[in-house]
Amino acid sequence: MSFGEDTSEMCLFNVKDGFLEAVVRGYKLGLLTTSDYNNLCQCETLEDIKLYLTGTDYGPFLANEPSPMHTTTLVDCCTRKLVADWRYLRENAGEPMGRFLDYCTYGHMIDNVVLIVTGTLHERDVQELLEKCNPLGMFDAIASLAVAQNMRDLYRLVLVDTPLAPYFSDNLTSEDLDEMNIEVMRNTLYKAYLDDFASFVHRVGGTTGEIMSELLSFEADRRALNITLNSIGSELTRDDRRKLYANFGLLYPHGQAELAVAEDFDQIRSAMEKCPPYQAIFSRLGLGETQMLDKIMYEEEVRQLVNTFEQQFHYGVFYAYMRLREQEIRNVMWIAECVAQDQKARVQDGIVFTF
């Protein structure tokens, strides 16, 4: 960015978006700290966890929950906090921030679509599925997804009027929606979404473009890694696997080409270590240690997200806040599961500290 662009960004950002940036920085101060997690790890029961979280930002959402507590109840209450914050930000956002905030939720929209379609395939009640959808990804005609028999119907009847419409490719098929096709659809939609999001932030430009490009590149690489890991031993062919990788990121295109042909974790590791930023990450893993890989990748993501708050006058802080909250909810869920299963010795395996 040139000096003039920097200056104009600093001078003009606060006119429309300064208030919400201040709000989100206030929300960020409510994230759980290391001492909070240490106290949570000392809890003996889920009731203790609920009692401790009542004294945090989650208090208003947990205080009236009846006993006995369950892990899913804790997760739902914590998610309601994120949803309430996000809705306040969205309702007070101008443009183009409003569009940016919408882009941040399209991933949840894709997850909701897949949830409804999968649940319908398993003959679950649509109302029950709707209640469990992520509120951040809801849209008007979501209940109509249950009538679709194949992907062409899915697009033609429902999704053509949603923000996900551009993510459906021209070669829609009439194949039935079975587990594999749904999984391919999920990852294909997410790939198109990431590509579109990256184009959008590039058009926004400025500090937002710089910061969000890095965050989205990491997200694309992480998804490529997870798709590769999860497809080992599955029916997904190499060509189909390659088609699910995003068209950007540090691994694009050569790293992705190696990941596409990887057959075990060692080959994946070899492909990832050829990229210097990931070599440092994988050096912390022992041989064949796939279980720690999730935590290490989340730690790297959190490190990048926290660093976004070091700069001002950009939209990246909103995306970072959402992802940090989601990581916090994952931490709380992991702690609750370890407490419920009497596996407190393993609780440190899943906590990613933010501050």
Partner 1 sequence: MTDSGQQGDDAFVATLDAAQEYLAAQAALAEALRAGFLSLAQARYSMGADRVSALQFPSHMRASTRLRSDGVELSLAVADPAAPSTSAQPSPASSASGGWAKADAEAPAAAHSSNGSDNRSSGGGGGGEAGQAAHGAAIIPAAPVAAQGGGAAAAEGLDAQLQRLRLAAQESDGILQSLAVKYGCSDGGGANAGGRPDGSGGGGGGGSGAGEDDDYAEVPAPGRPLSWFGSLVAPSLREAEAQFSDALSAAVAAANAQRRVRAGADGLRGSVGGGA
Contact (CB, 8 A) for 136 and 113: no
- The residue among 7 and 290 lying less far from partner 1, judged by its C-beta, is 290
- The residue among 38 and 348 lying less far from partner 1, judged by its C-beta, is 348
Side-chain-side CA neighbours of 190 within 13 Å: the count stands at 23
- The residue among 142 and 227 lying less far from partner 1, judged by its C-beta, is 227
**Sequence-separated contacts (24+) of 133-140 with Cβ below 8 Å:** 134/79, 134/108, 135/79, 135/80, 135/83, 136/82, 136/83, 136/86, 136/105, 136/108, 137/105, 137/106, 137/107, 137/108, 137/109, 137/110, 137/111, 137/112, 138/109, 138/112, 139/109, 139/163
Closest approach of Cβ 89 to partner 1, in Å?
A: 22
Enumerate residues 26-45 that contact partner 1 by CB under 8 A. Answer: none
Q: Considering the rule CB under 8 A, would residue 287 count as an interface residue with partner 1?
A: no
Considering only 65, 299, 300, 337, the residue that binds partner 1 (CB under 8 A) is: 337
Instruction: At 174, list the tokens.
Output: 């009439």
Q: Considering the rule CB under 8 A, would residue 233 count as an interface residue with partner 1?
A: yes
Q: Considering the rule CB under 8 A, would residue 83 count as an interface residue with partner 1?
A: no
Q: Considering the rule CB under 8 A, would residue 129 count as an interface residue with partner 1?
A: yes
Q: Considering the rule CB under 8 A, would residue 263 count as an interface residue with partner 1?
A: no
Contact (CB, 8 A) for 150 and 157: no
Contact (CB, 8 A) for 265 and 229: yes
Considering only 290, 303, 311, 348, the residue that binds partner 1 (CB under 8 A) is: 290
Considering only 231, 256, 304, 308, the residue that binds partner 1 (CB under 8 A) is: 231
- Among the listed ranges 15-23, 255-263, 283-291, 303-311, the one in contact with partner 1 (CB under 8 A) is 283-291
Q: Considering the rule CB under 8 A, would residue 118 count as an interface residue with partner 1?
A: yes
Q: Considering the rule CB under 8 A, would residue 124 count as an interface residue with partner 1?
A: yes
Enumerate residues 132-191 that contact partner 1 by CB under 8 A. Answer: 132, 134, 178-180, 182-184, 186-187
**Alpha-carbon distance 294 to 268, whole Å?**
14
What's 156's DSSP letter? I
Q: Considering the rule CB under 8 A, would residue 75 count as an interface residue with partner 1?
A: yes
Q: Considering the rule CB under 8 A, would residue 301 count as an interface residue with partner 1?
A: no
Question: Which position has the token pair 């407190």?
Answer: 344
3-state secondary structure 223-250: HHHHHHHHHCCCCCCHHHHHHCCCCCCC
Q: Considering the rule CB under 8 A, would residue 243 count as an interface residue with partner 1?
A: no
Contact (CB, 8 A) for 69 and 76: no
- The residue among 38 and 72 lying less far from partner 1, judged by its C-beta, is 72
Q: What angle do helix axes 97-121 and 179-204 make, rounded to 10 degrees?
A: 180
- The residue among 6 and 289 lying less far from partner 1, judged by its C-beta, is 289
**Alpha-carbon distance 268 to 51, whole Å?**
43
**Alpha-carbon distance 355 to 110, whole Å?**
31
* Total residue length of the chain: 355
Considering only 115, 117, 259, 262, the residue that binds partner 1 (CB under 8 A) is: 115
- The residue among 201 and 224 lying less far from partner 1, judged by its C-beta, is 224
- The residue among 95 and 235 lying less far from partner 1, judged by its C-beta, is 235
Residue ranges that bind partner 1, judged by CB under 8 A: 70-72, 75, 111, 115, 118-119, 122-125, 128-129, 132, 134, 178-180, 182-184, 186-187, 226-227, 229-236, 288-291, 294, 329-330, 333-334, 336-338, 340-343, 345-346, 349-350
